[in-house]
Structure 1
Amino acid sequence: MYRVLYVDDEPGILELVRMYLESYGSMLVDTCPSADEAKDLVRKTGYDTIVLDYYMPDVNGIDFLKEVRQSGLDCPIIIYTGRGREDVVIDALNNGADFYLQKSGEPGREFADLYSKINLAIQKYYAEKRVKETTALLRSTLESTADGIIVVDSEGKICAWNRKFVQMWNIPYHLVEGGDYSAILSYILPQITNPNHFFNRTDYRIREGIRPGIDIIELRNGKMYERYSQPQMIDGEIVGKVWSFRDITAKKSAEDALRESEERFRLLFEQAPVPYQSLNEKGEIIEVNEAWVRLMGYERNEVIGRSFMTYIPEKCLNDFQRFLLDISEFGSMYESELIILHSTGREIPVILSAKMLTGGPDMGVRTLWTFTDISEQKRIESQKEEVIIQIQKNLAELAILNDGVRNPLTVIAGQAELTLGDRAGPILAQVREIDQMIDQLDQRWHESTKILKYLHRHHGVFLIHPDGDLDGEL
């Protein structure tokens, strides 16, 4: 329902017009006999349109029209009067009237024409208001985006642009306001490293089969822009083209740095002398390096996707499960011993360290493991134990030998003295010489014992008794 105000100093006309317009059922009409009273009504009520008589005793319609327009009222206003001079018509339209309708003395046709003019004025007003709102929304959208945008029609005229576009290319405002896309291109092209590859002075023209596209543009000042091209369509017909430019300089630098970092990590991962493996949250192998392949004896494509527990002997599975729990709880696990299986079935003792890695939703949770093969260390430890056992055996045999030699020497010395008397001197001299040699052997035995004690205290070497017990005291 439209709200209409009709102002006229003729009471009869007021009521007649009101009745006629309301008879259509789409309008609610307020009437007012003077311009002064109408001012109060306009301030209090929002009208869709106002119909004014030109000549009224207090204020004529043109003066009232000027006043309400100056106050900011923008609804349609129709001058409806019996005066038909051309200067009145021009004056009314120049001061903001939307229509001028002259009273003709034929009420039926005249009121129908007035009703039609009111409808047309209101529809035009709201259509223009929607266009303004849409234009304002479009403009605010263009200005709020981080991209520089320009729209060009099929004739090479600029239809729309935003300040970001002007700032990105440092374009003087008079060029974009001039609306000539060729002039804009002439200003842009010298800034681009390879302009012929990315721009064509006629690329705004309609071409058969035009498609959206993306270009990367390098500027001479080191910046990089990503350009999106999109046809502008109306009712399925291409009428122009839209370009948006995004500054990706920082993004490209970050991507290059990330790519370099990833390549460096990949090189370190592949060429590291230490075996590496990466497992997912299920314990399945994601990646291994060359050192891992050499240690385990498998091809890389054999193991990717398989559970790492496949390569652990059953007796060590509980240890590995405990390692997984530690990593899950603490995020890492350092220098723990485990046995893994070579492709030949040979057991390889290793020291493991692992750390949990977290990434984006695509990466998920994974663990990175390092191996240290301690087979040689185990072999040396085993040989060391054998050597210690042999030393212990030699010392024990030396002690027995000392006692075994001294006893016969004592018998020889005693028999010589009893049998030979004073002539036993040379024999006793030889016995004493042999005894001194045995004393030297005793001294060596004590020195060897001290050496073993030193190895025990400072290097963790234990003497093993013949009964198999460890001697912590020596």
Structure 2
Amino acid sequence: MIRVLMVDDEEDVLKAGRLFMERDGDIQVDTATSGTGALEKLAVMEYDAIVSDYHMPGMNGIEFLREVRGRFGDIPFFILTGKSEEEVVIEALNSGATGYQRKGTAVREIFTDITNQLRIAVQKQQMEQKLVQSEIRFFDLVEHANDLIESVRPDGAIVHVNRAWRETLGYTEEDIAAMTIFDVVAPEALDEYMHLFAGLMNCAEHSRFRTTYLARDGSRVYLEGSVNCRCENGNPVATRGIFRNISEIRRGQEELRLLHALVDSLPCAILVATPDGEISEINSGTAAVFGTSGGDAVGMPFGDLIGDHQVAREVIAGAMKDGVGHGHCVTGGEDGLLHLRIRGVRVDGDEEYVHRLVISCLDDRRMHMARESFRLLAEGVRDPVAVLGGKGEILFANRPMAALAGIPDPNRLHGISFATLFFASPLPEPSLADTDPLPWSACGGKVTGRARVLPLVYEGEDARLLILSDAHREELG
């Protein structure tokens, strides 16, 4: 239903106008006999259109129009004028009138024409309002999306980025206005990105594209997403890219590769088995200790591997009951007596169920080799790494960990309580689960990072391997 306010100081004109405009049932007409009275109605009621006479006492139609435009916006407004009042028509249109209709013809023709005009004007305005509302909703959706969204012109100028893009990369609106997308792409990723961009200028679409951006602080942000180009008449207008931040996933993958490298480099046998003792994974040290290949060992019962089913059952039972099982066995090779340690890995949230067994087998000679191999590998890692004993004392720390503590020589950290050294918040519980590192802070928030803690056997004893990623120490003073 279209609500129309008709304003005229002649009651007969108002009655005729209402009669003709309401006859099709889609228009409802309200009336006022003066501009002042009409403004009072507009203050309490919303109308879709206004039809007003020009000649009215007190406030003429153009004065009323200007009041409407100043106070109520762009409501479609039609003015009725005399037959030869060209100057009034021009002034009305210049003041914001939507249309006009001259009096002097038959009443039916006047109001038939004005009704057709206002229907078209109201429909147009409603469509424009819906378009604006749709654009607002779309902009709100883009602006508050978790993904990084960008639009870039063919010359590399950045047309638009959303909140997630700005917050993730740390650039301000002023920064973005002064740079191109090629300033954001990391140098090592620029050649591949330029190749992609050239393809986009031919209106190609790239999905599952990975690249690396530089944040404002110089850190690298790893992204994955899709990019296409909006083209008009075969010419590129702007690219549209939607990316998700995979930096945490990538760092997690790097940490897992580090852990696999640590385990695989140890000159002792490290195995993963099911609760009934069937071997599912082994490291390269297993072949050296037992003289078997990975293909032969995987699927084999642990008792067959060590040649003593009784010992295997006892240490597995200890792990299933107490979390850790200990034992010894004698190999047929030169290594002689082997120390066995089995740790039961439980499912998060279910302390009753052991779903994997982690088994270490080493002799005294390999125990020393394992320690030295681990230390050499950990020293080559950029992230701070430490091994903590059962009471939280530091058994080993690499140089990045010592630097984080503000101590030049990592050997001086040996035996010091980690919690006391850093005034640290509690560390996560040791877990072999593939989970993201957890936020961690120390020294009253002066030291921050993300911590991953794993169970470890170090020098024959239970320990914890601590890896800190994104570690940062705030400069004091």
TM-score, normalised to structure 1, is 0.59
Counterpart Cα distance in 1 of 2:293 and 2:196: 57
Q: Does 1:224 find its partner at 2:220?
A: yes
Counterpart Cα distance in 2 of 1:349 and 1:165: 55
Is contact 1:352-1:372 (8 Å) kept? no
Counterpart Cα distance in 2 of 1:47 and 1:35: 15
Q: Secondary structure at the match of 1:56?
A: coil
Equivalent position of 1:431 in the other structure = none
Equivalent position of 2:193 in the other structure = 198
Q: Does 1:266 find its partner at 2:260?
A: yes
Aligned runs of 1:296-335 on 2, under 5 Å? 296-306=290-300, 308=302, 319=314, 322-326=317-321, 332-335=323-326
Q: Secondary structure at the match of 1:125?
A: helix
Equivalent position of 1:98 in the other structure = 98
Report which stretch shifted further, 163-172 or 296-305.
163-172
- Picking from 271, 286, 299, the partner of 1:277 is 271
Closer, same or farther: CA 188–303 of 1 in aligned 2, 3 Å? closer
Closer, same or farther: CA 202–129 of 1 in aligned 2, 3 Å? same
Equivalent position of 2:443 in the other structure = none
Equivalent position of 2:345 in the other structure = 356
CA offset at residue 242 of structure 1?
Answer: 2.8
Counterpart Cα distance in 2 of 1:75 and 1:36: 17
AA partner of residue 270 (structure 1): D
Equivalent position of 1:420 in the other structure = none
Equivalent position of 1:370 in the other structure = 360
Is contact 2:227-2:242 (8 Å) kept? no
AA partner of residue 360 (structure 2): T
Counterpart Cα distance in 2 of 1:51 and 1:282: 88
Counterpart Cα distance in 2 of 1:294 and 1:303: 12
CA offset at residue 199 of structure 1?
Answer: 3.5
Counterpart Cα distance in 2 of 1:272 and 1:341: 19
Q: Does 1:62 find its partner at 2:62?
A: yes
Is contact 1:154-1:239 (8 Å) kept? yes
Q: How many residues align?
A: 353
Counterpart Cα distance in 2 of 1:313 and 1:268: 28
Closer, same or farther: CA 288–145 of 1 in aligned 2, 3 Å? same
CA offset at residue 355 of structure 1?
Answer: 4.1
Q: Secondary structure at the match of 1:199?
A: helix
Q: Secondary structure at the match of 1:71?
A: helix
Closer, same or farther: CA 10–134 of 1 in aligned 2, 3 Å? same
Answer 1 or 2: which has greater strand percent.
2
Is contact 1:2-1:48 (8 Å) kept? yes
Is contact 1:342-1:348 (8 Å) kept? no
CA offset at residue 96 of structure 1?
Answer: 2.9
Equivalent position of 2:399 in the other structure = none
CA offset at residue 154 of structure 1?
Answer: 8.0
AA partner of residue 368 (structure 1): V
AA partner of residue 319 (structure 1): E
CA offset at residue 333 of structure 1?
Answer: 0.9
Equivalent position of 1:288 in the other structure = 282
Equivalent position of 1:23 in the other structure = 23
Closer, same or farther: CA 160–122 of 1 in aligned 2, 3 Å? farther
AA partner of residue 322 (structure 1): A
Q: Secondary structure at the match of 2:187?
A: coil
Greater C-alpha radius of gyration: 1
AA partner of residue 7 (structure 1): V
- Encode CA deviations 1:283-317: one digit per residue, 9 max, x unaligned: 54231123433444432112324554665766567
Equivalent position of 2:38 in the other structure = 38
Q: Any unmatched runs of 5+ in structure 1?
A: 177-182, 375-474
- Encode CA deviations 1:257-297: one digit per residue, 9 max, x unaligned: x5554344333322323321112466542311234334444
AA partner of residue 140 (structure 1): D
Is contact 2:201-2:229 (8 Å) kept? no
Is contact 2:55-2:81 (8 Å) kept? yes
Aligned runs of 1:63-462 on 2, under 5 Å? 63-82=63-82, 85-145=85-145, 149-151=149-151, 160-162=160-162, 185=180, 188-189=182-183, 193=187, 197-199=192-194, 203=198, 207=202, 209-212=204-207, 214-217=209-212, 219=214, 222-225=218-221, 226=223, 230-232=227-229, 240-244=237-241, 252=247, 255-256=250-251, 258=252, 261-280=255-274, 283-306=277-300, 308=302, 319=314, 322-326=317-321, 332-336=323-327, 351-356=340-345, 366-372=356-362
Equivalent position of 1:426 in the other structure = none
Equivalent position of 1:460 in the other structure = none
Closer, same or farther: CA 279–72 of 1 in aligned 2, 3 Å? farther
CA offset at residue 40 of structure 1?
Answer: 2.3
Q: Percent identity, aligned pairs only? A: 23
Answer 1 or 2: which has greater helix percent.
1
Closer, same or farther: CA 297–170 of 1 in aligned 2, 3 Å? closer
AA partner of residue 265 (structure 1): L
CA offset at residue 5 of structure 1?
Answer: 1.4
- Encode CA deviations 1:130-181: one digit per residue, 9 max, x unaligned: 22222223333343346664435789998655577689596875995xxxxx
- Encode CA deviations 1:97-147: one digit per residue, 9 max, x unaligned: 222222341333332221211111111111111222222233333433466
CA offset at residue 90 of structure 1?
Answer: 3.1
Closer, same or farther: CA 310–20 of 1 in aligned 2, 3 Å? farther
AA partner of residue 295 (structure 2): N
Counterpart Cα distance in 2 of 1:135 and 1:296: 69
Closer, same or farther: CA 235–25 of 1 in aligned 2, 3 Å? farther
